[in-house]
Structure 1
Amino acid sequence: MVRCFLIHTVCPVSALPAGESRLLYSRMFGPDEAVLTDQHRELSPEENRLLRKEKLAVVARQVRSVVSLTREAAGRVLVDVVPGEEALALQEADSGVMRLRAGDPFCEEASAVWLAVHSLAFTLVCEPHENLLLAEGSLRSLSRHCLEHLHLLGQGSEVLLKSSRVDVLLSRLLPHGQLLFLNHRFAQSLEKEVAGYMSK
């Protein structure tokens, strides 16, 4: 099962200190037991929300750090993406998996599958026993739909204003945080359904 899905920045943002990542979108799946320890269960709902937000920000910072190191080691230089070339940017995207130890930031161990497309990263945090190849395929599909239909790499793109559309994508491609094994026909049917909704 997937614990959460994140869209965040991986390149410097002028309003943030160096090394920080801006969390643009997040969605948690399942109960909060993996996030909250016994000492945190007594917190108010607002304090719980802030604690979850901080834990997701920790994941975003860790992914940003790994992406920066990967790009630096490969000697890759980012070039601006021309609108309409989202598919090309996705093909050239960096991707990887990292292990999140128990207590850093969640109570239980987890795996983070990430895909960095230009200045954005899409991250799935999964349970440690989850099929990581299936998670990567689902993440690529989600990110492709986000990039193609929501134009997230364009100038002035506001993910925050498009969160309802991201929610719909997640409900179709990752229902209740469950990774789907898709055969070819079902995948085509799902693609048509998503494309039909996104064209509205």
Structure 2
Amino acid sequence: MVHAFLIHSLRAPHVEDVGFCRVLYSCVFGAEKSLDDPRPHSAERDRLLRKEQILAVARQAECMYQLQQQASGRSSTDLPPQSSSDEPVPLHEASHGAFRLAAGDPFREPRTVVWLGVLSLGFVLVLDTHENLLLAESTLRLLARLIFDHLRLLAPSANLLLRADRIEAILARFLPHGQLLFLNDQFVQGLEKELSAAWPL
């Protein structure tokens, strides 16, 4: 099962002075409470706990992205310029990876994180440790492509923060209730037609 999906900002290596990692969107499938915490739980405390957990994951994913960029000798200036919002997003060139989170850091149970860095955005899935990583990576690439296409993120006036409803609609179809789906091309095309009908490009 997928426990969380998030989109966060990415900074290039050696750019520590240009703001901090920001979570731009997150969706948590099921809440996690600490069984060892004797204090009464409230909706606000649970919300803050989830926010802290998601931010911790985003920071670790950004760190992995920066390390990979440094190791490959690439920087954000090496990426091909995106001159038009109609050009395809270079997902095949995107940095990607996976790492494990130990129990208690930051979730109560161990988790696996799959991440994808596209231009200045990071896309992340937080999974159970036994999930199929190849399926998770292909799902994450599909979600990233759909989000770029249907939110027109390459357009000059694009604002990810104002389009959470579209992201939720994409997740509801392609990651329902946090379940990874084996999707063939025909089924994906059918779901994409639904999205296009709901929100014409």
1:172 aligns with 2:173: yes
CA distance in 1, matches of 2:38, 2:156: 40
CA distance in 2, matches of 1:130, 1:164: 27
Match of 2:160 in 1: 159
Match of 1:184 in 2: 185
Instruction: Kindly provide the CA deviation profile for residues 27-71 of structure 1, in whole angstroms up to 9, marking residues without a partner as x.
Output: 0002x23x5343076232112111110110000000000000101
Are 1:114 and 1:122, in contact at CA under 8 Å, matched by a contact in 2?
yes
* Equivalent residues, number: 195
1:48 aligns with 2:46: yes
CA RMSD in angstroms comes to: 2.1
CA distance in 2, matches of 1:92, 1:40: 47
Match of 1:197 in 2: 198
Q: What SS does structure 1 have at the residue aligned with 2:76?
A: coil
CA distance in 1, matches of 2:108, 2:52: 14
| Amino acid across the alignment from 1:57 | L
Unaligned 5+ runs, structure 1:
none
| Amino acid across the alignment from 2:114 | V
Match of 2:21 in 1: 21
CA distance in 2, matches of 1:45, 1:29: 15
Are 2:89 and 2:148, in contact at CA under 8 Å, matched by a contact in 1?
no
Is the helix fraction higher in 1 or 2?
1
Q: CA distance change for structure 1 residues 41 and 93 in 2, over 3 Å: closer, same or farther?
A: farther
Q: CA distance change for structure 1 residues 46 and 91 in 2, over 3 Å: closer, same or farther?
A: same
Identity of aligned residues (%): 47
Match of 2:55 in 1: 57
TM-score by length of 1: 0.88
Are 1:19 and 1:61, in contact at CA under 8 Å, matched by a contact in 2?
no
Once the two structures are superposed, the pairs formed by residues 1-200 of structure 1 within 5 Å of their partners are 1-11=1-11, 20-30=20-30, 32-33=31-32, 36-39=34-37, 42-79=40-77, 80-84=81-85, 87-199=88-200
| CA deviation after TM superposition for structure 1 residue 184, in Å | 3.2
Q: What SS does structure 1 have at the residue aligned with 2:34?
A: coil
CA distance in 1, matches of 2:143, 2:61: 18
| CA deviation after TM superposition for structure 1 residue 88, in Å | 4.0
CA distance in 1, matches of 2:9, 2:42: 29
TM-score by length of 2: 0.88
Instruction: Kindly provide the CA deviation profile for residues 129-169 of structure 1, in whole angstroms up to 9, marking residues without a partner as x.
Output: 01111111111110001111212244453211000000000
